[in-house]
Structures are given as structure tokens and as C-alpha cells.
């Protein structure tokens, strides 16, 4: 071996000095995205127009429900019952 | 073995291999991700009779690294190799080794990385790179010869490495 060359043992020692960095922790989630959260915490992508339409629909529904409720609340229970008997022409007296 | 179990067991080896081939953490991350996605998409491609899961994954990573450089029209394998192939520019032993390994011809480099850092046997390397065992042995020998010369200026003197 040329004296300007490293012996095997020294070369092996030097090679050990080069260490690779640790793999990033988020790598697993990027490979298995479904496994990163329980099902009740997962989300699905919804297009913005669809989301807006859903919000408008829900707001309209809620408004209608409230107005129907308020219409009902104007009706009051009858305090005195006054029945009126209407006799037809064909009923004999 | 499920893809999840394979990931838990081998993702660091795949990442390290990709990093040592490319010299870049962002590319290593992409290649590791692509490697395991390939396993997820076609787990049936792994045949235990043909080798271990680790060998299978390292072979995928090697092919992905080659594809990456073909697509990016870059020369394999590292930026460091192109900008500072002379390890004497490196500030410490670790950088000097990284630069010297990166400056090796691609086929020698991958053989050396697999043997020295991934603990692969000659037979496994031959399987990963698709070459004969004798060819791998020769590449490994030439890689070490070259490193002996390029890293000689960093020879240890007592407990300290020589500085340039």
C-alpha cells in the first residue's frame, strides 16, 4: 500500500464519522395519512361553492324553523269557550 | 409483513440510504415517502422468496434516486460532489467523508453506501443493483481504494485528525 493511503482500519473509522440524520417524524403521517387520527377527527375536502351552498341551506332552514315557531307562539289558549250552534235550513225546530 | 410494519422497521434505513445517495434531506424525504407509497400500492410485488423486505425497499429507493436524477437532469449523485469534490474543502471529518463518497462514481458509491452503512452483504448488494457479486466486489474494492487516497490527508495523528 502506498504510504499516502489510509490503512483499512483508519478508513473504517473515518467512514463511521459520517452519520445520516434521523428521518423526520412526520414522514409516517405523509405515507399513511388515514392512520394519523381516529375516524371522528378526520376531515374530508369539500369544494368551497358546495360548502357555501350548505351553509346557506342550513341558515335558511334555521330561519324558517324560527319563523314558524314565532308564528305559533302568537296563538293563545282560549280563555272562555262560547260555542255557537248554527242550525241548517233542513233541520226541523 | 404489512406496509405499516415495514415502515416502522425500515424507514430509517431507507431514509439514510436515500440521504447518502443524494446528499439532500428534502430529496431523501421524498424518496422515502415514494418508496413506501410504492409498497402500499403494490404490496404483492414483494416476494419473500427473492430476498428480504429491506433489500426490496432499498432496491426501490435506488431506482427512485436514479429516476429523480434523470427527471431533474442532474448528474448523480450530489450537489456537494459537483461543487466541492475535493474533500480538502470540507471543514470536518464527517463532511470530508460525505464529499469523498459523493465524488465516487455512481456505481461505486451505491455499493460502498450499501456495504458500509446499510450493512448489506455482497449478495444483497448484487440483488439491489442488479449486478454480479464479483462486479459488486470489484466496485467496492475500487471505491475503498479511492477513499484511502482522498481521505488520507485526514489521517488521525494521536487523538486528533490532521488539519489541512
pLDDT in tens, B126-143: 999 999 999 999 999 999
Give the pLDDT mean for B81-107: 75
Contacts of A6 (CB under 8 A, 6+ apart): A14, B147, B148, B151, B152, B155
Band (pLDDT 50/70/90 cuts) for residue A22 is: very high
Q: Are B93 and A15 inside 8 Å of each other by CB?
A: no
d(CA B4, CA B153): 45
Burial, B51: exposed, middle or buried (Cβ in 10 Å; 0-12, 13-18, 19+)? middle
pLDDT greater than 90 at residue B113: yes
The helix/strand/coil state of B157 is: strand
How many Cβ atoms are within 10 Å of B125's Cβ, its own excluded? 25
Per CATH, the homologous superfamily of domain B3-154 is: PhyR, sigma-like (SL) domain (1.20.140.160)
Q: How do the domains of chain A map onto residue ranges?
A: 45-72
Average pLDDT, chain B: 85
Q: Which A residues in the span 6-25 are in contact with B, Cβ-Cβ below 8 Å?
A: 6, 8, 10-15, 17-24
Tell me if B31 sits within 8 A of B66, measured CB to CB.
Answer: no
Give the pLDDT mean for B115-129: 94
Q: How do the domains of chain B map onto residue ranges?
A: 3-154
Using a CB-CB distance cutoff of 8 angstroms, which residues of chain A are in contact with residue B117?
15, 18, 20
- A3 touching B (Cβ < 8 Å): no
pLDDT greater than 70 at residue A87: yes
pLDDT greater than 60 at residue B104: yes
Point out the least confidently predicted range of A47-51, A59-63, B21-25, B156-160.
Answer: B156-160
pLDDT greater than 70 at residue A36: no
Band (pLDDT 50/70/90 cuts) for residue A58 is: very high
Quote the pLDDT of residue A48.
Answer: 92
pLDDT greater than 70 at residue B50: yes
If one compares A68 and B160, the residue with the highest pLDDT of the two is A68
pLDDT greater than 50 at residue A15: yes
pLDDT greater than 90 at residue B28: yes
Quote the pLDDT of residue A93.
Answer: 57
If one compares A6 and B45, the residue with the highest pLDDT of the two is B45
**Is the pTM value of this prediction over 0.80?**
no
Quote the pLDDT of residue B155.
Answer: 74
Using a CB-CB distance cutoff of 8 angstroms, which residues of chain A are in contact with residue B36?
31
Closest CA to A18 of B32, B100, B163, B65: B100
Quote the pLDDT of residue B115.
Answer: 96
List the grid coordinates of B75: 448528474
d(CA B16, CA B32): 9
Q: A19: left (phi > 0), else alpha (psi -120 to 50), else beta?
A: beta
Question: Is the interface score ipTM higher than 0.85?
Answer: no
Quote the pLDDT of residue A88.
Answer: 77
Cα–Cα distances in angstroms (integers) from residue A16 to residues A20, A88, B26, B163, in the given order = 10, 113, 23, 18
pLDDT greater than 70 at residue A74: no
Mutate to test the interface with B, among A4, A12, A17 (most CBs of B within 10 A): A17
Query: What tens digit of pLDDT does each residue of B9-18 get?
Result: 999 999 999 9
Amino acid at each position: 500500500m502506498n504510504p499516502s493511503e489510509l490503512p483499512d482500519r483508519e478508513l473504517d473509522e473515518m467512514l463511521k464519522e459520517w452519520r445520516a440524520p434521523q428521518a423526520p417524524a412526520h414522514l409516517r403521517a405523509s405515507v399513511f395519512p388515514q392512520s394519523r387520527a381516529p375516524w371522528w377527527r378526520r376531515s374530508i375536502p369539500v369544494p368551497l361553492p358546495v360548502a357555501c351552498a350548505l351553509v346557506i341551506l342550513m341558515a335558511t332552514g334555521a330561519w324558517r324553523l324560527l319563523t314558524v315557531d314565532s308564528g305559533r307562539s302568537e296563538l293563545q289558549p282560549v280563555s272562555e269557550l262560547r260555542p255557537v250552534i248554527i242550525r241548517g235550513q233542513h233541520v226541523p225546530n | 409483513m404489512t406496509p405499516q410494519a415495514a415502515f416502522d422497521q425500515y424507514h430509517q434505513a431507507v431514509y439514510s440510504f436515500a440521504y447518502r445517495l443524494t446528499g439532500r434531506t428534502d430529496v431523501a424525504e421524498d424518496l422515502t415517502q415514494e418508496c413506501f407509497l410504492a409498497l402500499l400500492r403494490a404490496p404483492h410485488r414483494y416476494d419473500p422468496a427473492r430476498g428480504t423486505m429491506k433489500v426490496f425497499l432499498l432496491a426501490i429507493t435506488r431506482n427512485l434516486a436514479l429516476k429523480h436524477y434523470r427527471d431533474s437532469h442532474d448528474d448523480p449523485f450530489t450537489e456537494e460532489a459537483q461543487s466541492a469534490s475535493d474533500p480538502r474543502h470540507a471543514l470536518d471529518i464527517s463532511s470530508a467523508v460525505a464529499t469523498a463518497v459523493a465524488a465516487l462514481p455512481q456505481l461505486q458509491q451505491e455499493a460502498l453506501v450499501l456495504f458500509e452503512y446499510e450493512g448489506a452483504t455482497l449478495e444483497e448488494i448484487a440483488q439491489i443493483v442488479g449486478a454480479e457479486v464479483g462486479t459488486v466486489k470489484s466496485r467496492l474494492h475500487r471505491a475503498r481504494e479511492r477513499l484511502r487516497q482522498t481521505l488520507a490527508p485526514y489521517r488521525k495523528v494521536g487523538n486528533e485528525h490532521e488539519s489541512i
